[in-house]
Amino acid sequence: MTSVPATFKALRIHQVDKKTEARLEAITLSDLSAGQVVIRVAYSSINYKDALAVTGKGKIMRGYPKVAGIDLSGTVVSSEVPDYKPGDAVVVTGGNVGEVFDGGFAEYARVPAEAVVPLPPGLSLHEAMALGTAGYTAALALRRMLENHQTPDLGPIAVTGPTGGVGSIAIALFKRAGFTVAAITGKPGAEKYLRDLGADEIVDRNTLDVGSKPLETARWGGAVDNLGGDTLAYLTRTVKPWGTIGAIGLAQAPTLSTTVIPFILRGVSLLGIWSVECPRSWRLAIWDRLAGDWKPNGLTTLIAPRTVTLDDVPAVAEELVAGKAQGRVVVRIGSDL
């Protein structure tokens, strides 16, 4: 049985003179926050939130020093709860890991049992991190929008921030679920990538006329929004009657300036999508779908072709906060078994 070595490698965020510093350092198990399950980490991934935490561009961490990384996959070393035994393959996304609790950018993690999901059959540890919080969140949006009666006949789904992690997987998921998908991107040069994912239409966000009237010509059956700000306001004005907007992110701005008109004169719904503290039954069901009929094609080749090491994380984090990254980036930390 594997045991935890006296020291292991971790990317920890420190705060010095009110500035954050990411340090690759040797730590011990007792340095980690309390939790019932100790995991030998095989892979992690870099989400927008991780990029904010590592670069210090956003306040993500509750307390310092703390290991960053909101996602991890790996094998259980020990568990204080009967649901997990040593050697079990598991996935952790969200659950306040990498924010309140120490996270996945380390060779070993200790996390609350509530945050752990058994790796579903049909997914490898690597594929689980190609999906990560980004994939889980895109799937949560699909689930919530379907529950709210979003159907392909309402019209195309507009995906904003489509070259990013959540956006890329949202395109693949909605296309697979039978929807027509439009990618509203700031990188029109990424057209081939977006079409390979399944986008039927590419819209250049840089030249898009977002209008200003409470209602503009209805164009989209629904939308998955990663940007917030003016882009989300535009979507509220242009979604067709009874369409749903899944509000996921704030890569452009945390603000929303609109009127109630789209909601009361077109029946448009604005659904909040929050991946961190989902009901456990939803979490298990969504991971099963992601390993089965919702599993995107090309997960580790098209969506997450890049695998980096812990040493590379700070540089990749800078790319993400600058909006320059494409798709998902997996972090390889230990071996698969």
Ligand X SMILES: NC(=O)c1ccc[n+]([C@@H]2O[C@H](COP(=O)([O-])OP(=O)(O)OC[C@H]3O[C@@H](n4cnc5c(N)ncnc54)[C@H](OP(=O)(O)O)[C@@H]3O)[C@@H](O)[C@H]2O)c1
Residues engaged in binding ligand X (CB under 6 A): 47-49, 133-134, 137, 161-167, 185-187, 205, 226-227, 248-252, 273-276, 320, 323, 325
CB-nearer residue toward ligand X: 228 or 243: 228
- Report H helices in the chain: 48-55, 125-147, 165-176, 191-197, 229-238, 261-265, 280-291, 313-321
Question: Least distance to ligand X from the beta carbon of 2, Å?
Answer: 31
> What distance in Å separates the CA atoms of residue 194 and residue 327, rounded to the nearest whole number?
10
Angle at 31 between CA 29 and CA 35, to 5 degrees: 65
Query: Running DSSP on this structure, what letter comes out for residue 198?
Result: T
Angle at 167 between CA 166 and CA 169, to 5 degrees: 70
Question: Least distance to ligand X from the beta carbon of 123, Å?
Answer: 19
Question: Least distance to ligand X from the beta carbon of 237, Å?
Answer: 18
CB-nearer residue toward ligand X: 266 or 283: 283
CB-nearer residue toward ligand X: 89 or 304: 304
Quick one: tokens of 295?
């599993």
CB-nearer residue toward ligand X: 116 or 227: 227
Quick one: tokens of 73?
């996959």
CB-nearer residue toward ligand X: 32 or 325: 325
Produce one character per residue of 150-182: b if its CB has 16 or more CB atoms within 10 Å, e if not. beeebbbbbbbbbbbbbbbbbbbbbbbbebebb
Question: Least distance to ligand X from the beta carbon of 117, Å?
Answer: 16
Residue nearest to ligand X (CB): 164
Q: Are 89 and 73 in contact (CB under 8 A)?
A: yes
Q: Could you identify the residue written with the tokens 């040069």? A: 189
Question: Least distance to ligand X from the beta carbon of 164, Å?
Answer: 2
Question: Least distance to ligand X from the beta carbon of 148, Å?
Answer: 16
CB-nearer residue toward ligand X: 186 or 334: 186
